[in-house]
Structure formats: C-alpha cells, structure tokens
C-alpha cells in the first residue's frame, strides 16, 4: 500500500527500537529482538506515516526529557535516604553507592543519566525502587499500569457518556432548565475537589448512610471499581459537558443544520449527524491530554480508595526523591501522552471532514 521512503524505513526501525526496549523485559533478549523486528517491519509497511513521524520525533524527545528530568532532580534539594533521624554521613554515602546515585551536581547528573540509559537500553531495567527496597521500578510500575488503565477506562467511559449526553442535551435547548441543570452539574463537578467527591460517595454508598452497596476501599472486584471510577470521572464529565454544549450551540446555528432540517431530516438524525460532530471536536482535543491524565492514575483517588495504581508513584516518587521511580514515571507519562495525542491527531480528520483537506 505504500511506497518505500526514508521516513518509512527509519521510522520503522525506530519503532522497532522502542518495541525492543519495551518487550525485552517481558520476552528476554532473543524474544524481544524477534518481536521488535516484526514490529519494525509491520510499522514500516502498514503504520500511518504520521505515526512513524511521531515515533521518529519521540526518540530524541525521550532522550532529552530524561536528561532534563535528571538534571532537575539533581538540582532540587533532598536525598532519598534522608530522614528526620539522620544517619551518619558515611552511611548515607555508602547507601548512595549501593544504589548507584552519584553526588548531586551537573556532572553527577550526567553520570547518572549515562548509567540510567545504559541500564534501560542494554539491560531493559529501570533501576531499583529506593523507598520500597527489594523491588525494581519495573516490578512496581508494571502491576500498577493495568490497574490504572482499567480504572481510567471506566472513568473515561462514564465521563464521555455523561458529559456528551448532558452537553449535547443542553446545547440543543440553550437557556432552558435543561441547560442550567447541566451547567449546575458542571459547576459542582469542578468546584468540589475530587477527594471531597470521593469521600461523599464513600459516605453515601459504602458506609451505609444510607446505602452500603459497595466496599469502602480496596481493589480486586467489580464492585470496588464503581465508586472510584465515578469520583474520577465527575470533574472530567463536567469539562466535557461544557465543551460539548458550546460546540453544539455553535453547530446548531449554522447553515448546514438549517439545510438539513429543511431537507426534512428528523430531529434525531440532525442531532446524530450534525450536532454531535460539532460538539465533538473540542471534546476530542481535550480528551488527548485528559485521557492520558486519567489513565496514568490519580494520587488522590488512589490513596482514598486504597487502589494500587500508578498515580501514587508520581507523587511518592517525587516526595521521596526516589530517583528511579521518578524517571520511570516520566517515561511512562510522556509515552502515554504521546500515544494519546497521536490517537487524537489521527482521529480528528476522521471525525471532522474539514480537517481532511490537510497536507
């Protein structure tokens, strides 16, 4: 389907490299290399060009990002082994040696950066956890990822469903009770912080005031998924509802809608064919970063509901100066952001015909 071009070949190779680094931890060196070759071929052959370009961009981006993050971490005061009861200087130094953390200076940062990259690419390892010793970063982040993704998907579904429904409904009848009630919902959704929403949900639906339908905290069953997903979804639903409403109002005022109505399309068809399309462009643009945020977890929701997800590591890593964890989360976060933004960019022209004329 495609002509061979340098972008395709190099992009395919780069995708292969990314696949190798990602997969070798799971499949071993040989398996990882094999799988990576397959991915590279598939990528060069079938992937959309935009995706390949994105992969090409992201490689130097990752290198730079890790470098900047390391230097940032090393400039910020604090020590992963410091505590209120300070140990001897010699002991602290020895601990830093044990875990390969050089002195905090620019040169030390460069040294750490080099060692980290080597570890990442050559060994496929992301270093040890300093605050939960005995584990590697990979071992703590890998089990947390599916947890956050499941929770995030549920929340995203609720947020999109609820948000689009309320937003479009309000947009179709601006300045009516429907509109105001959706606006009221949105205002409550964003002006109550998520820990308050979460605590309220627990109080009402778990602690038996008046319902005791769900467990108060924990992970590992469908019933434990409900309250945190709702709490996580509400603020996002509020944003989506407002964005969708304004998009709908705009579209409904446009000529082609009038034309469609004049053509005798039913109201349902008008809404589904045209109103939604207008509503969805800003929502989808918002969804890229928002979904990345949802899927990488939320510290507040996770600690409140006792969920072993990713969000905790973002905050704990930084709070504890757990350098390897921080870098692990940086890589994951930016990988997911890049992926979701790519998906959005691929989806936009598909959704909005006006974008297809591009390049």
Partner 1 sequence: MLLLVVLSCALLPLLLGLDERRQDTVARDQAPNASHWFGTDGLGRDYGARVLVGGRASLLVGLVGTLVCVLIGTVYGAVAGYYGGRVDDAMMRVVDFLYGIPYMFLVILIMLTMSDEDRNSPTAVFAALGLVQWLTMARIVRGQVLSLRHEEYVLAARVMGARDLRIIFRHVLPNCIGPIVVYGTLQVAAVILLESFLSYLGLGLQLSWGNLVADANVVNPVESRWWLLAFPCAFLGTTLLSLNFLGDGLRDAFDPKTRR
Partner 2 sequence: MYRTLLGLFAAFAGALVVVAATLSAYTPAPRADFVFVNGSEPQSLDPHRMKGQIEGRLADALFEGLTRKDPGTFEPVPAVAASWDVSPDGRTWTFHLRPDARWSDGDPVTAHDFAWSWRRLQEPATASEYSAVLHVVRHARALNKYGAQVAALRGDAAGKDGDAREGVIRRFDALLRAHPAGVPFRAWTEFVTDDRNALRDQVAGTAESALVAPLSRTSGDLTPAEGEAVLAALGREAERRAAALALARAHFGVDQGAFARDERTFVVELDALAPYFLELTSFYVTFPVHRKTVDRYGLDWFREGRLVGNGPFLLASWQVNEKIGLVRNPTYWGASEVSLRTVDVLPYDNQTTALNLYLMGDVDWLPGIYPPDLIDQLSRRPDFHANPGMIVYFYRLNTTREFLRDVRVRRALAKAIDREAIVRDLTRKGEIPTTTVVPPGVPDYASPSNDLAYDPAAARRLFAEAGYGPQGKPFPRFTIVFNTSEGHKKIAEFVADQWKKVLGIEVQANNKEWQALLADVAKLEYDVERAGWIGDYRDPKTFLDMWTTGDGNNETGWSDALFDRLVGLASDAGSLASWTPAQVDELVVACREGDRMRALLAAQRDAADAAARMEATLAVRLQLFREAEARLLIDGVPIIPFYFYVNTGLVQPDVEGIRYWGTKDGARVPNLQDEHPLRDVSTARSRGSRP
Give contact residues for partner 2 (rule: CB under 8 A): 76-79, 81-91, 94-95, 97-98, 128, 131-135, 139-140, 143-144, 146, 150, 153-154, 156-157, 160, 199, 202, 206-207, 215-222, 225, 272-274, 276-277, 303-306, 308-309, 312, 319-321, 350-351
Nearest CA to 301 among 224, 238, 242, 243? 224
CB of 181 to partner 2, least distance (A): 24
Which of partner 2, partner 1, none sits in contact with 221, Cβ below 5 to 8 A by type? partner 2
Residue by residue, what is the 3-state secondary structure of 339-350? Answer: HHHHHHHHHHHH
Which of partner 2, partner 1, none sits in contact with 290, Cβ below 5 to 8 A by type? partner 1
Which of partner 1, partner 2, none sits in contact with 329, Cβ below 5 to 8 A by type? partner 1
Give every CB contact of residue 225 below 8 A, 6+ residues apart in sequence. 150, 151, 154
The answer to whether the peptide bond before residue 57 is cis (omega within 30 degrees of 0) is: no
Comparison of 27 and 345: residue with beta carbon closer to partner 1: 345
* Rounded to 5°, angle at Cα 287 from 161 and 356: 105
Comparison of 35 and 327: residue with beta carbon closer to partner 1: 327
CB of 131 to partner 2, least distance (A): 6
Which residues form the interface with partner 1 (CB under 8 A)?
53, 57-58, 61, 64-65, 68-69, 72-73, 75-77, 183, 186-188, 190-193, 196, 199-200, 203, 207, 209, 235, 238-239, 242-243, 245-247, 249-250, 253-254, 281-282, 284-286, 288-290, 292, 314-315, 317-319, 326, 329-330, 333-334, 337-338, 341, 344, 348, 352, 354-355, 357-359
Q: In whole angstroms, give the CA distance from residue 341 to residue 358.
A: 17
Phi, psi of 136 (to 5 degrees): -100, 165
CB of 29 to partner 1, least distance (A): 27
Which of partner 1, partner 2, none sits in contact with 73, Cβ below 5 to 8 A by type? partner 1
Q: In whole angstroms, give the CA distance from residue 347 to residue 171.
A: 23
Comparison of 105 and 254: residue with beta carbon closer to partner 1: 254
Yes or no: say if 240 and 159 are a contact pair by the CB < 8 Å rule.
yes
Which of partner 2, partner 1, none sits in contact with 188, Cβ below 5 to 8 A by type? partner 1
Yes or no: say if 218 and 224 are a contact pair by the CB < 8 Å rule.
yes
Comparison of 150 and 334: residue with beta carbon closer to partner 2: 150
Q: In whole angstroms, give the CA distance from residue 123 to residue 25.
A: 8
Task: Give helix 223-252 / helix 194-205 axis angle, nearest 10°.
Answer: 130
Q: What share of the chain is helix, strand, coil (3-state, %, to 5)?
A: 75, 0, 25
Which of partner 1, partner 2, none sits in contact with 187, Cβ below 5 to 8 A by type? partner 1
| C-alpha to C-alpha distances, 253 to 136, 247, 250, 275, nearest whole angstrom | 57, 10, 5, 10
CB of 124 to partner 2, least distance (A): 17
Comparison of 244 and 270: residue with beta carbon closer to partner 1: 244
DSSP state of 1: -
CB of 5 to partner 1, least distance (A): 16
DSSP β-bridge partners for residue 136? 128
């Amino acid at each position: 389907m495609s002509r061979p071009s340098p972008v395709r070949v190099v992009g395919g190779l780069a995708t292969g490299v990314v696949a190798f680094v990602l997969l070798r931890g799971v499949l071993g060196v040989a398996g990882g290399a094999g799988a990576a070759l397959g991915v590279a071929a598939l990528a060069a052959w079938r992937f959309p060009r935009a995706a390949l370009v994105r992969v090409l961009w992201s490689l130097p981006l990752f290198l730079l990002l890790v470098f900047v993050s390391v230097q940032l971490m090393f400039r910020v005061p604090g020590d992963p082994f410091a505590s209120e009861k300070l140990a001897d200087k010699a002991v602290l130094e020895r601990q830093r040696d044990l875990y390969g953390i050089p002195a905090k200076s620019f040169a030390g940062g460069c040294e750490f950066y080099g060692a980290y990259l080597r570890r990442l690419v050559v060994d496929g390892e992301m270093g040890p956890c300093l605050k939960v010793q005995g584990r590697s970063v990979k071992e703590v982040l890998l089990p947390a990822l599916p947890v956050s993704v499941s929770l995030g998907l549920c929340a995203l579904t609720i947020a999109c469903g609820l948000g689009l429904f309320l937003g479009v409904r309000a947009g179709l009848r601006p300045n009516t009770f429907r509109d105001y009630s959706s606006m009221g919902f949105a205002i409550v959704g964003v002006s109550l912080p998520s820990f308050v929403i979460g605590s309220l949900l627990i109080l009402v639906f778990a602690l038996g005031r008046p319902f005791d339908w769900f467990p108060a905290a924990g992970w590992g069953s469908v019933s434990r998924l409900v309250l945190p997903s709702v709490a996580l979804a509400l603020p996002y639903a509020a944003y989506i509802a407002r964005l969708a409403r304004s998009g709908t109002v705009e579209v409904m005022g446009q000529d082609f809608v009038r034309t469609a109505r004049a053509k005798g399309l039913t109201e349902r068809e008008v809404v589904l064919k045209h109103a939604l399309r207008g509503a969805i462009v800003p929502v989808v643009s918002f969804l890229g970063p928002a979904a990345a945020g949802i899927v990488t977890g939320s510290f507040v929701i996770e600690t409140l509901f006792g969920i072993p997800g990713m969000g905790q590591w973002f905050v704990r890593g930084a709070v504890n100066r757990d350098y390897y964890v921080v870098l692990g989360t940086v890589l994951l976060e930016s990988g997911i952001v890049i992926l979701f933004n790519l998906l959005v960019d691929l989806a936009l022209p598909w959704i909005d015909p006006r974008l297809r004329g591009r390049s």
